[in-house]
Amino acid sequence: MKIINIISALLLCITVPATASEEKALNEFNKAIKAYKTKDYKSAESYLKSALKYKSSDGNIELANGKPSYRWKDGPRGKERYVIGMTTRDYPYYPNRLAADIKAEKKALIKSIAINIPKSQKNKENAFGIVIGNANYDHIENVDFAVNDAKLVKKYVERTLGYENVDMKSNISQVDFQTLFGNKSNGYRGKIYNMVAALAEDESNPEVFIYYSGHGSPDPSRPGESYFLPTEISRANMNSYMDTAAYSTSDFYASINRLPTNNVTVIVDACFSGQASGSGNSLFENISAGSLVSPETVDFSSNLKKAEVMTSTSRNQVSNWYPDAEHSLFTYHLLSGLQGDADKNKDNKISFDELSAYVSREVRLQYTKEDLPKQDPVFKGNGRRVIAELKN
C-alpha cells in the first residue's frame, strides 16, 4: 500500500512534458526568431514552415528546464527523497504571428506600384483597351493574383497610357472569349473588332491595348498548339477536347490581325507549359507537363504585323507569382517600369525597347535571387515605338 501511495503521488505531481513534436516545433521557431532579428526573412520563413508542420497553433509550450524537483518524505530510516518531476517553464510559441509580422515587413520594403501612378502627356479619346484577369477556375488550380493584376493594369492603361475607353473582364468563359475576339466562322468580328471599327471611323489607326492574365496551356493532342483557358474548363476536356473547350492563341492572334488598325499592344501574362504557376503541378489529369510539347510563346505570332507583343515567359517556363506584392512577378515589374523605372534616358518617354529590357532584367534578377523557376519574358515588335509619354 505504501508503494502504491508513493506511485500515486508521483503521478499527481509530475508535469506532463511537451511532446517530441512540440519540442521540434519550438526549436524551429527559435531559429526563425534569430533569422528574423537579422532581417533574413527567407530563412525565417523556411524555419517557420518547418515549425508549423510540427505544431500549427500559436500558444506557449511547457518544457522541463532540466532541474529535478523533489518531495521529502519521512520514512522508517529517516528522511527519504523522491524525485517526482522536473520544474517546468512556459516558452512562447507564436509562428503564425511571426509569419504575419514578416509578411508585413517584407511588404513595406516593396516599392508600391499602386500609388504615384504617373499621368500621360496625352489624353487618348480614340484609344481602346481590354484587360482580362482569369483567377478563379472551377476544376483546376487558381491563378491567385490575376484579378489583382488586371485591376491595376486597367488603372495604368487609363492614367499612364491615357486611354479613355478601357474595359475589364474577370473570370471569363469560353463563350466570353468567342464573344470578345470572335472566331474563324464569323471572320473574327467580335466585340473588340466592333469597338475598334467604330473608333476607326473617327480617327484612323486607333490605339488598342490587350492584356490577359490567367492560365494558358499546350494541347496534348496537337503538339505546338496553345490555348487560353476559360474558367469552367475541366481536366477531362483539357486532355481530349482542348480545341473546342478553350480559346486558341491562333484565333486570338488572327483576331488581332483582323482589327482595322496597325497600332496594337498585346501583353500576355500566362505560360503555355501545362504547369500551374506557384505549385508547378501539371494542369492535366494523368499527364505530366514535362511530356507535353510547349509552343514558343511568341513564335505563333510571327505573322502578326500590327502589334507589339510581350509575353511573361519563354518556352517550357512558368509565370512566377510575387506573393509579397500580391501580383505576378511579370506584371509587377511591367507596371514598375511604366511607373518610370524603365525610362532609362529620363526623357519621359518609355519605348518598348526600354520597357522590355527593364522587365526582363528585373524578373531575371528576382527569380535568381529567390531561387524561383527560370522565367524569361519575350518581346516581339517595333522596339522603338513609344508605349508611354509621362508628364513631368
Whether 255 has a pLDDT exceeding 70, the answer reads yes
Cα within 13 Å of Cα(208), Cβ side: 30
Candidate from 38-47, 125-134, 256-265 with smallest mean pLDDT: 38-47
Higher-confidence residue of 344 and 88: namely 344
Contacts 24+ apart (CB under 8 A), 24-33: 24/51, 24/54, 25/51, 25/52, 25/54, 25/55, 25/61, 25/93, 25/95, 26/51, 26/61, 26/63, 26/91, 26/93, 28/54, 29/93, 29/94, 29/95, 29/98, 32/95, 32/98, 33/98
- pLDDT tier at 10 (50, 70, 90 boundaries)? very low
Structural domains in the chain, CATH included, are: 2-105 (no CATH), 116-389 (3.40.50.1460)
Q: How far apart are CA 137 and CA 373, in angstroms?
A: 23
pTM value is 0.79
**Residue indicated by cell numbers 517556363:** 317
**End-to-end Cα separation, the chain, in angstroms:** 93
The region, left, alpha or beta by phi > 0 then psi within -120 to 50, assigned to residue 364 is: alpha
Closest CA to 122 of 148, 153, 158: 158
- pLDDT tier at 243 (50, 70, 90 boundaries)? confident
* Predicted pLDDT at 85: 53
**Residue indicated by cell numbers 485591376:** 151
As a whole number of angstroms, the longest Cα–Cα distance in the chain is: 113
- pLDDT tier at 17 (50, 70, 90 boundaries)? low
- pLDDT tier at 7 (50, 70, 90 boundaries)? very low
